[in-house]
Chain A
Amino acid sequence: MAVTPPGADVNPDRYEVVIGLEVHAQLRTRSKMFCGCPTRFGAPPNSQTCPVCQGMPGVLPVVNRRAVEFGIRTALAFHCRVNAACRFARKHYYYPDMPKNYQISQYEEPLAEDGFLEVDVDGSSRAIGIQRLHLEEDVGKLLHEGTIETAKASLVDFNRSGVPLMETVSRPELRSPEEAAAYLRAFRAIVVYLDVCDGNMEEGSLRCDANVSLRPRGAAELGTKVEIKNLNSFRNVERALKFEVARQTAALAVDERIVQETRLWDADREVTRSMRSKEYAHDYRYFPEPDLVPLQIDRRWVEEIRAELPELPRARRQRFVSRYGLSLSTSDILTHHGPLADYFEAAVTEFPDAKAVSNWILSEFLRVLAGGDERVLSMKVPPRNLAGLLRLIADGTISGKIAKDVFSTMVDTGEDAPTIVRREGLTQVADEAVLDGIIDAVMAANPKAIEDFKRGKTAAKKALVGQVMKATGGKANPALVDRLLEDKLSKIQT
Chain B
Amino acid sequence: MYQPIHELTDAYRRADLTPTAVAEAYLARIDALDGRLGAYLTVVRDEALAAARESELRWRAGAPLGPLDGAPVALKDVLCTRGVRTTCGSKMLESFVPPYDATVVERLRAAGAVILGKTNMDEFAMGSSTEHSAFHPTRNPWDLARVPGGSSGGSAAAVAGGLAAGGFGSDTGGSIRQPAAFCGVVGMKPTYGRVSRYGLVALASSLDQVGPFARDVRDAALLLGAVAGHDRRDATCIQAPVPDYGAELSKGVAGLTLGLPDEYFIDGMDPDVERAMESRTRAAGFGAEVKRRIMLGTYALSAGYYDAYYGKAQSVRTLVRREFAAAFARVDLIVAPTTPNVAFKHGEKEDPLSMYLNDVFTIPGNLAGIPGISVPCGFSVTGLPIGLQVLGRPLDEPRLLRAAYAYEQATPWRSRRPELT
Bitwise, B206-219 to A at CB < 8 A (1) or not (0) is 10000000000000
Is there contact, CB below 8 Å, between A291 and B205? yes
A58 with B98: CB separation less than 8 A: yes
B198 interfacial by beta-carbon distance below 8 Å: yes
Q: List, in ascending order, chain B residues with CB within 8 A of A92's CB.
A: 301
In the assembled complex, the Cα of A59 lies from the Cα of B196 at a distance in Å of 11
Q: Binary interface profile of A, 269-298, with partner B (CB < 8 Å = 1, else 0)?
A: 000000000000001011100111100000
Asked if residues B235 and A61 are in contact (CB atoms below 8 Å), the reply is yes
Partner of A290, one of B100, B102, B199, B206: B206
Does B265 interact with chain A (Cβ within 8 Å)?
A: no
- The yes or no answer to B269 lying at the interface (CB within 8 A) is no
Q: How far is the CB of A90 from chain B (nearest CB, A)?
A: 9
Contact partners of B303 in chain A: CB under 8 A: 283, 285
Closest to B206 in A: A290
B236 CB to closest chain A CB, in angstroms?
Answer: 6
Q: A456 at the A/B interface (Cβ < 8 Å)?
A: no
How distant is A178 from chain B, measured CB to nearest CB, in Å? Answer: 36
Q: Are B236 and A293 interface neighbours, CB within 8 A?
A: yes
- Whether a CB of chain B sits under 8 angstroms from the CB of A371 is no
Which residues of A sit under 8 angstroms from B379, Cβ to Cβ?
Answer: none
Interchain CB contact under 8 A, B236 and A51? no
Q: Is the CB of B233 within 8 A of A285?
A: no
A63 vs B298: C-alpha distance in the bound complex, in angstroms?
26
Q: Are A51 and B235 in contact (CB under 8 A)?
A: no
Q: List A contacts of B235 (CB < 8 A).
A: 60-63, 291-293
| 22 pairs, A vs B, C-beta closer than 8 Å | A56-B98, A57-B93, A57-B98, A58-B79, A58-B80, A58-B86, A58-B200, A58-B201, A59-B199, A60-B235, A62-B233, A62-B234, A283-B303, A285-B298, A285-B301, A285-B302, A287-B310, A290-B204, A290-B236, A291-B202, A292-B235, A293-B235
Bound-state Cα–Cα, A293 to B303, Å: 23
Query: When A and B form their complex, which 4 residue pairs have the shortest distance between CB atoms, in order from nearest?
Result: A290-B205, A285-B301, A290-B206, A58-B80
With the chains together, A181 CA to B79 CA distance in Å? 51
Q: Determine how close the nearest CB of chain A comes to the CB of B328; give it in whole angstroms.
A: 23
Residue contact A58 to B198, C-beta cutoff 8 Å:
yes
A58-78 vs B, CB cutoff 8 Å, 1 = contact: the mask equals: 111111000000000000000
Main secondary structure of the interface of A (DSSP, over half): loop
A57 & B233 in contact (Cβ 8 Å cutoff): no
Is B99 positioned at the interface, with any CB of A under 8 Å from its CB?
Answer: yes
Residues of A within 8 A of B205 (CB): 290-291
Please, how many angstroms separate the alpha-carbon atoms of A51 and B98 in the complex? 8
* Chain B contacts to A: CB under 8 angstroms: 79-80, 86, 88, 93, 96, 98-100, 102, 197-202, 204-206, 232-236, 298, 301-303, 306, 310
Size class of the A contact interface (CB-based, 8 Å): 10 to 19
Q: Which of chain A's residues have a CB closer than 8 A to the CB of B88?
A: 57
Rounded to whole Å, the gap between the CB of A293 and the closest CB of chain B is 6
- Which chain B residues lie closer than 8 Å to A60 at the CB level? 197-198, 233-236
Bound-state CA distance A62–B235 (Å) is 6
Given A285-B301, A290-B206, check contact A56 B234 (CB 8 Å).
no
Q: What's the least CB distance linking A473 to chain B, in Å?
A: 70
Tell whether A58 pairs with B233 under 8 Å between CB atoms, given A290-B205, A290-B206: no
- Cα–Cα, bound, A286→B199 (Å): 24
List residues of chain B with CB within 8 A of the CB of A283: 302-303
Q: Which residues of B contact A51 (CB under 8 A)?
A: 98-100
Return the chain A residue nearest B90 by Cβ.
A57
Chain B neighbourhood of A287, CB < 8 A: 301, 306, 310
Bound together, the chains give a CA A51 to CA B81 distance in angstroms of: 12
A314 to B158, CA, bound (A): 70
Task: Give bound CA distance, A292 to B236, whole Å.
Answer: 6
Complexed CA–CA distance, A30 and B201 (Å)? 28
Quote the shortest CB–CB distance from A91 to chain B (angstroms). 11
CB distance from A209 to the nearest CB of B (A): 21
User: How far apart are the CA atoms of A291 and B79 in the complex, in Å?
Assistant: 16
CB closest residue in chain A, given B99? A51
Cα–Cα, bound, A216→B106 (Å): 65
Contact status A56-B100, CB under 8 Å = yes
A36-62 CB contact bits vs B (8 Å, 1 = yes)?
000000000000000100001111111
In the complex, the chain A residue whose C-beta lies closest to that of B102 is A58
For B298, give the chain A residue with the smallest CB separation: A285
Name the residue on B nearest A52 (C-beta): B233
Cα A479 to Cα B266 in complex, Å, equals 111
Cα–Cα distance between A187 and B40 once the two chains are bound (Å): 58
B204 neighbours in A (Cβ, 8 Å): 290
Cβ B96 vs Cβ A291 within 8 A: no
Kindly supply a per-residue 1/0 record for chain A positions 432-451, scoring 1 wherever the CB is within 8 Å of any chain B CB and 0 otherwise: 00000000000000000000
The verdict on A57 contacting B298 (CB below 8 Å), with A62-B232, A62-B235 known, is no
Q: Assess the B234–A57 pair: CB atoms within 8 A.
A: no
Instruction: Please name all residues of chain B whose beta carbon is closer than 8 Å to the beta carbon of A56 when the two chains form the complex.
Output: 80, 98-100
User: In the bound complex, what is the Cα–Cα distance between A286 and B96 (angstroms)?
Assistant: 28
Complex alpha-carbon distance, A198 and B302, angstroms: 37
A267 to B134 Cα, complex, angstroms: 50
CA distance A59 to B197 in the complex (A): 8
Known contacts A58-B86, A58-B202, A291-B234, then 5 further A-B pairs from the complex at CB < 8 Å, ordered by chain A residue: A57-B201, A62-B235, A285-B301, A285-B302, A290-B205
Least distance between A66 CB and chain B CB atoms (Å): 15
| Cα of A384 to Cα of B247 in the assembled complex, Å | 71
Shortest Cβ distance from A34 into B: residue? B235
**Distance in Å: Cβ of A86 to nearest Cβ of chain B:** 14
| Nearest A residue to B311, CB-CB | A287
CB distance from B121 to the nearest CB of A (A): 14
Min C-beta distance of A297 to chain B, whole Å: 16
* Least Cβ–Cβ distance between A18 and chain B, in angstroms: 25
Chain A residues near B206: list those with CB within 8 A: 290
How far, in whole Å, are A285 and B301 apart by their CA atoms in the complex?
5
Bound-state Cα–Cα, A57 to B303, Å: 26
Task: Tell me whether B198 and A59 are in contact (CB under 8 A).
Answer: yes
Residues of B within 8 A of A58 (CB): 79-80, 86, 98, 102, 198-202
